[in-house]
Amino acid sequence: MADNNSFGVIGYALAPKKQNSFIRDSLLTLAKSRGIQLVRVDSNRSLADQGPFDCILHKLYGDDWKRQLQEFQTKNPNAVILDAPEAIERLHNRISMLQVVSELRVDDRTETFGIPKQIVIYDKETLSDGQAWESLKFPVIAKPLVADGSAKSHKMALVFSHNALNKLKPPIVLQEFVNHGGVIFKVYVVGEHVRCVKRKSLPDVSEEKVLGVSEDLLSFSQVSNLANRDSVDDDEKFYQMMNLDDTTEMPPQAFIVDIASGLRRAMKLNLFNFDVIRDSRYGNRYLIIDINYFPGYAKMPGYESVLTDFFVDLMHKKEIEAEEGNVANIDGGEEALTEEKDESVKV
């Protein structure tokens, strides 16, 4: 399958929508120019019967796929799996995905970070128990507990009162809404490469606006209307307004890299992004509100060169391990594919 100029062959197994957005001609051409072949895995054949592959890049789920990965790894012990299913599954639960943040500590910085106050509601009975959510201050964001990338998992709402909780369908996560200037920072991580971009977010909600809301529960598309932007009438148009002016200050890059490095090591993942907001009450306080595996990298400027550099680095490390007689670690973590360069991150 590999030609004479090939440095490495990476098999990709992606759902059709992810494949269409990620596997673009621009990526294939650049990768090929540097000796990296990206080859689609045939979903109609057993993975173990395909290849040879130096690496499997995937975003598929289910017991059958996990079994195929295990069989492939047994047959190809030196191949790298990006990333291990067990590590990815941690991000399918909105509670467990953020628990890792509490395990991180970044020293000697003026900036601090954490997560918003949040609780999980598993059943209707708990919704009627005032003690379960008395520590939360309204408004809160209601999110499905399961974060598997489906349309259902992205349906969120802003809840303004206790009474509105009865309209929700558990299991859900209630996360305290924190004013953040209508800006969210999306941090893309590809191995050691970290890139932070700013995007428009939900507008701040003042006490006056809360009191002026006629409904006690609003979907995110309805919340966007609180920004008083007449041209915005649905989610798609709201989130298309992506570019912000330069007056919005970015978080310190070294601070973001420290967090990304800590998350990469703790989660043993190489391909993910995390969403960060700046708490308007404290100029140097940042909150991580979401972590996603293998995000829409094509939305990141210059994603082709970033991913290609990562693939080349991966193949170089694989060559070194082969020369030393080591087996590539399949956990996809920093210790397997990258060298920790910044000792300021403690996990």
- Binding residues for 1D-myo-inositol 1,3,4-trisphosphate, by number, are 18, 59, 154, 186, 292, 296
Q: How many CB atoms lie within 10 A of CB 3?
A: 9
Binding-site residues for ATP: 94, 143, 175-186, 201
SS3 content of the chain, % helix, strand, coil (to 5): 35, 25, 40
Query: Can you spell out the DSSP letters for 236-279?
Result: HHHHH-----TTSPPPPHHHHHHHHHHHHHHHT-SEEEEEEEE-
Q: Which residues pair with 146 in a beta bridge?
A: 93
CA of 201: how far to CAs of 156, 178, 179, 205, in Å?
A: 13, 12, 10, 12
268 alpha carbon, distance to own chain's centre: 13
Binding-site residues for Mg(2+): 275, 290, 292
Binding-site residues: 18, 59, 94, 143, 154, 175-186, 201, 275, 290, 292, 296
Helix axis angle, 303-324 to 25-33, nearest 10°: 40
Q: Would you state the structure tokens that stand for residue 188, as one six-digit string?
A: 């893309």
Let me know the angle formed at the C-alpha of 107 by 262 and 116, rounded to the nearest 5 degrees. Answer: 65
Residues 6+ apart with CB under 8 A from 342: 257, 258, 261
**Cα–Cα distance for residue pair 158/31, rounded to 1 Å:** 43
